[in-house]
Every structure is written in C-alpha cells, then in structure tokens.
C-alpha cells in the first residue's frame, strides 16, 4: 500500500536536501555581490630563514578582553580578502605587495590559517581608487588584531598609508591590538622616515607636494601614524622567517585569548574543581603523550567537562581537534571522522578512501605534531584505535581526552589516567536548578520545599536539572505538585522517560520542530531549517526560542542548532515508537540506509510541495 507523504512530512526525505541547496544558493548570492577577486597565494614554505629579534621600541599594544565563543570548531578555509562585511576576521594584514606578497606576508597569512585564525589579507596591488573602500574599513574595524608589515616601499603606497591611519585610529579609540612587523627596515627609520624607507617615502612626498592641499594634509596624517606605530612593540624581520612566523602566530593566539574556545553553558555550577583535577594531571611535566579518560553516565556533564578542559588547554597547542558525539557520528563511516581529525590538525581537506588509509595518514603524518584531541562519547574501543591509536602516533606532550559511558573502553585504549565524573551534590543541584527555574541561585522561600523535592528526583544529573528547571519556570505551586507526581512515578534510571515530560508540555508546532531537529537538523544553520518551518506555519522564530528557553536545544553563535544526545535519542524514539520494524510508518526517516530500503520496497510515494 502506498502511503503519501505531504504537508509537514515533506521533511521526511526531501526537505533537508532541497532546503539546504536553496539556502546555500541564496546566502551565497548575497555574499557574492560584495566580493572582489584576489589571486590565491602560494602556500609553500619559505626557502631561507634567519633568527628574529623583537623590536625594542618603547610602548606596547593593549590587550582587549575577548568574549568570542569559538568553535568549536570549524576548520577554516581561505577567504578572499574582499569578503563583504569584514566581521568574520580576527587578524588584518596590511602590506606592500611587491615587497612581501609572495614571501613573508604570504607565509604569515598561511601560518595563521593553519591554526584556524581567520585573516584578512590586503594587497595594495589589487586595490583601486583614492579612498579606503568600505570593505577594508569594515575589515579593520572588526578585526581583533591589526598587523601592518613595513617594508622599504610601504611608504610609497597611499593605500597602505591610509590603512595605517585607520589602524592607529582603531588602536587609539577602540583599544584594538596593533602588532607591527618591520621587514628589513628599522622601527626608528619608519618613525623618522629615514634610511632606505625614508628615501622612498620622501620621493613620494616630493611628488605629492606639487599637488593639492589635501595631499599635504594626508602627508601630515601619514607621518603622525608612522611615528606612533614605530613606538609600538613589535618584531623586526631580519632573521629566520619561518621561526618568526611561528612566533607571531603564537603571539596572536595569546592575544586573541579565545583560541577557538568551544561554546559551553554560562550557567555552569561546580565544574571548576573537576577541571582542576584533570588538568593537574595533564599539566604533568612528563614529555610523554598522555591519554585521559572521563567516565560517567549519560547527562552527567562529560562533554561539558571535556569542552572546559579543551578551552583551558588550547593555548598550549598549535594543533587540536574536538570530535563530538562519536557514538552517533561513527554510523556515517569511520573515514569521515578520520577526515575531520586530519583536517582539523593539518588544515587540509584530504580525501580518504577507507578507514585503513585514514589510519595510515594519522599514524604517519601526525607523528611530529604535538596535539590536543578530544574524542567525545566513545562507545567502542575500536573508535579510539582508528582515530588516535596509541601513544607513539603523536609527538611528545600530546594530550588525548576520551569521554565515555563505558569505563571498560579505557583498558583497551591504554588510558593513563581515569576520571570518574559523579552526580552533583544536593547544594550544587539546588543552585543549577534554581538558575533555570527562577533565574537566580536559590529558590524563593515559598518554593523552597518544592524545589528540594524536584532536585532530589533528578539524582544530581545536570541535564535533568537544566531541563526540569526550565520546565518549572513560571509555574504556580499547584502545577509544581502535579508535575512532581508525574516525575515520581518514573524510575530514577529512566532518564529519557523523565525528559519526555518536557516534550509533552510543548505545543504541536514546538513538538514538530523539536522532532525535526532531533532527526535532521543538529549542527545545522537554523536559517536553513526555518524556511521549511515557516512554510508549514510552525512560527520558527518564536518556537525555536521557546525550545532554547526550555533547555531542549541550544543555539551556538546565534546560528547553529545543537541538542544533547539524550534529547536527540528521545526525539528519535518518539518518531519510531509503535513501529520499530515498520520504518515506512515513521513520520521521519533520517537514516539513509533505512530510507533507501523503504523506497526500494515501494512503500512510499513522495509528493514534492513547493510553497509560494
């Protein structure tokens, strides 16, 4: 019997593909209009190098406090220097093309990219017109660190000098970090326009003095900016360029502070002591590679702890990777996770045919890399073997962190240190629950006893404390008592069934969005999925925010949809229940093999509905 799929069930097979394509097209169409072309730079390593010396000029660049939540994650890709808004950049490079474009500036640019720093690379050879175009102004304004690279002919370019004026204004007015590099010129020569730098600058000055008064006004601004920047502590490039690139990259990492921090909840309670205990072992002075295992039941906070440790240690590692939710991701193929690990560390998109090839690449090409790797939610020792192997796969002082619900994995993984994460105590549980239920650290007096009842039911499980706290928020005491009775009927170990109470409290549109995210849209840009939800009249803007407030989903960087694996499993269980062995009766099919079987069995007729 054919079962038509239409209306909301359009999401079953076609929506994720169709909507992703449409969204990708429209989003990129917007970006394309603001781009200007730039030739890709050669990424080869420099051939000859010498030793760097730090410029001893007075002054120092200020260091702003960074609050950017990284990402987890994302492997950077080379970006054209003319991206429309400039707001995705962390570093702005200003240099004179003929002097350094195919040399030092190019090596520095790619050195930054390799560690995941998004850099804007300007080249005055590619620029036209008299004024700094809005693209460059936006890039300077939004970049956290501004790096002018002074070479002999830097002062002959009006474009470079205008950029420098803007750079120094940003330093003086906004506290942005300026890190000047003096390429085969002295800082004092730049400031006083002396030496070979001054000779070329004055030749340019002579020509400008024959022109308008505006040119003379510009000259004064340029000289003032050159004098100011010469007093900022930076680096002189006379020695080994490859060593200096490493030095500058590490300096930038320290200045940024973010260091690609993974997003974690702001309402953490009691995690500091766990981070301290694990990092005390990881900070061991031993030169050996160390494997550390974090064990605990689902929803206990293993992933959050691993993220916090990763954020704390990432400063110390040029090469790092956080591979999330391996238990689920493993189903898509071992080589896909191997590709992610290699891509994160080498910053290269390497095609891998099968898991054996991936294993060989990791064990051979990463041998000389000091890495920080987190394998999150491992449920099979083979996952560790295929991704991080053993202690000699990486350079000395590498750190591998494994989280799992099954501590038996640690023996086969040759873990050096095991940390057993326990439930939160009653005091910590009360604080965490209150943060979500009352938006403060303790309950109002009239809710004190009811709060302690709920907290005791959660068993100190952070996920339940968050979800139930959000569920009870704004409810009257009579509603509290009714929900407490429901919770008490469910055995403490049945975490998923307890979480289901929050799902049942949603309205129909919220339930549909929750199930769609659980089945299709985890780690997806919310804008892509919202096109479908808008068409289905599910009011995504309001309902996504409601799901977030209910702690059933998280939104990272105001964009990416995230969901705890317990909640994901709950959603998929709801979709499958009553028809476990009859997938054609499910409202959603997310497993490609399962969907293919249904189509081959001719159980489903798909109608594509296009909404105007």
Query: Which has the closest alpha carbon to 147: 197, 204, 102, 104?
Result: 104
* Calpha distance 548→555 (Å, rounded): 7
CA atoms within 13 A on the CB side of 61: 30
User: What tokens were used for 281?
Assistant: 């072992």
* Calpha distance 226→190 (Å, rounded): 6
Catalytic residue among 90, 163, 255, 261: 163
User: What tokens were used for 114?
Assistant: 């390799």
The three-class DSSP label of residue 339 is helix
Do residues 271 and 217 lie in contact, with contact meaning Cβ atoms separated by under 8 Å? Answer: no
The residues near 310 (Cβ < 8 Å, ≥ 6 apart) are 262, 320, 322, 372, 374, 401
Torsion of CA 192, 194, 196, 197, to 10 degrees: 20
User: What tokens were used for 515?
Assistant: 């199930």
The three-class DSSP label of residue 364 is helix
CA atoms within 13 A on the CB side of 16: 16
Report the DSSP beta bridge partners of residue 239.
Answer: none
Do residues 467 and 433 lie in contact, with contact meaning Cβ atoms separated by under 8 Å? Answer: no
| Cα distances (Å, whole numbers) of residue 33 to 5, 38, 84 | 38, 15, 8
User: What tokens were used for 442?
Assistant: 């303790």
Query: Which has the closest alpha carbon to 520: 602, 586, 607, 605?
Result: 586
Question: Has 266 been annotated as catalytic?
Answer: no
Residues carrying an active site annotation: 163
């Amino acid at each position: 019997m054919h079962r038509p799929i239409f209306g909301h069930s359009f999401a079953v097979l076609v929506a994720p593909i169709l909507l992703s394509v449409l969204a990708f097209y429209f989003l990129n169409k917007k970006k394309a209009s603001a781009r200007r072309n730039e030739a890709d730079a050669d990424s080869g390593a420099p051939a000859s190098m010498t030793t760097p010396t730090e410029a001893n000029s007075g002054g120092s660049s200020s260091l702003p406090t960074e609050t950017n939540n990284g990402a987890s994650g994302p492997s950077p890709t080379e970006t054209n220097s003319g991206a429309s808004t400039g707001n995705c950049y962390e570093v702005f490079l200003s240099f004179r093309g003929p002097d350094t474009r195919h040399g030092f500036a190019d090596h520095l640019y790619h050195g930054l990219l390799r560690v995941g720093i998004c850099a804007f690379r300007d080249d005055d050879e590619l620029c036209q017109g008299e004024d700094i175009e809005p693209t460059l102004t936006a890039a300077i304004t939004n970049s956290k660190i501004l790096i002018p690279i002074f070479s002999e002919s830097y002062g002959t370019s009006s474009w470079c000098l205008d950029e420098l004026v803007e750079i120094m204004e940003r330093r003086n007015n906004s506290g942005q970090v300026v890190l000047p590099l003096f390429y085969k010129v002295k800082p004092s020569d730049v400031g006083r326009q002396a030496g070979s730098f001054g000779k070329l600058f004055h030749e340019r000055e002579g020509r400008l003095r024959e022109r308008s008064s505006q040119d003379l006004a510009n000259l004064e601004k340029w000289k003032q900016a050159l004098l100011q920047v010469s007093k900022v502590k930076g680096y002189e490039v006379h020695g080994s360029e490859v060593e200096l690139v490493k030095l500058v990259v590490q300096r930038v990492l320290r200045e940024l502070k973010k260091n690609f921090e993974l997003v974690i909840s702001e309402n953490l309670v009691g995690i500091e002591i766990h981070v301290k205990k694990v990092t005390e072992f990881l900070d061991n002075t031993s030169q050996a590679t160390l494997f550390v295992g974090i064990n605990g039941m689902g929803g206990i906070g293993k992933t959050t702890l691993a993220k916090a440790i990763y954020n704390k240690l990432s400063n110390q590692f040029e090469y790092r990777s956080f591979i999330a939710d391996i238990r689920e991701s493993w189903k898509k193929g071992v080589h896909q996770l191997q590709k992610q690990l290699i891509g994160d560390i080498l910053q290269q998109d390497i095609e891998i045919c099968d898991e054996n090839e991936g294993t060989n690449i990791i064990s051979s090409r990463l041998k000389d890399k000091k890495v920080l790797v987190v394998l999150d939610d491992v449920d099979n020792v083979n996952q560790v073997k295929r991704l991080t192997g053993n202690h000699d796969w990486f350079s000395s002082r590498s750190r591998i962190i494994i989280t799992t619900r099954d501590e038996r994995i640690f023996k086969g993984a040759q873990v050096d240190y095991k940390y057993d994460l326990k439930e939160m105590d009653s005091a910590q549980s009360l604080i965490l629950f209150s943060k979500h239920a009352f938006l403060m650290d303790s309950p109002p007096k009239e809710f004190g006893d009811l709060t302690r009842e709920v907290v005791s039911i959660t068993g100190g499980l952070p996920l339940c404390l968050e979800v139930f706290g959000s569920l009870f928020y704004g409810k009257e005491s009579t509603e509290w008592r009714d929900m407490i009775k429901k919770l008490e009927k469910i055995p403490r170990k049945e975490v998923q069934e307890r979480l289901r109470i929050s799902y049942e409290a949603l309205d129909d549109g919220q339930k549909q969005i929750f199930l769609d995210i659980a089945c299709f849209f985890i780690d997806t840009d919310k804008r892509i999925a919202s096109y479908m939800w808008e068409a289905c009249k599910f009011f995504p803007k309001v309902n996504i925010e409601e799901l977030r407030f209910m702690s059933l989903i998280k939104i990272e960087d105001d964009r990416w949809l995230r969901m705890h694996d317990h909640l994901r499993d709950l959603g998929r269980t709801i979709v499958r229940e009553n028809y476990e062995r009859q997938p054609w009766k499910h409202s959603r099919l997310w497993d490609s093999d399962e969907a293919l079987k249904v189509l081959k069995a001719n159980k489903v007729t798909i109608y594509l509905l296009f909404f105007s």
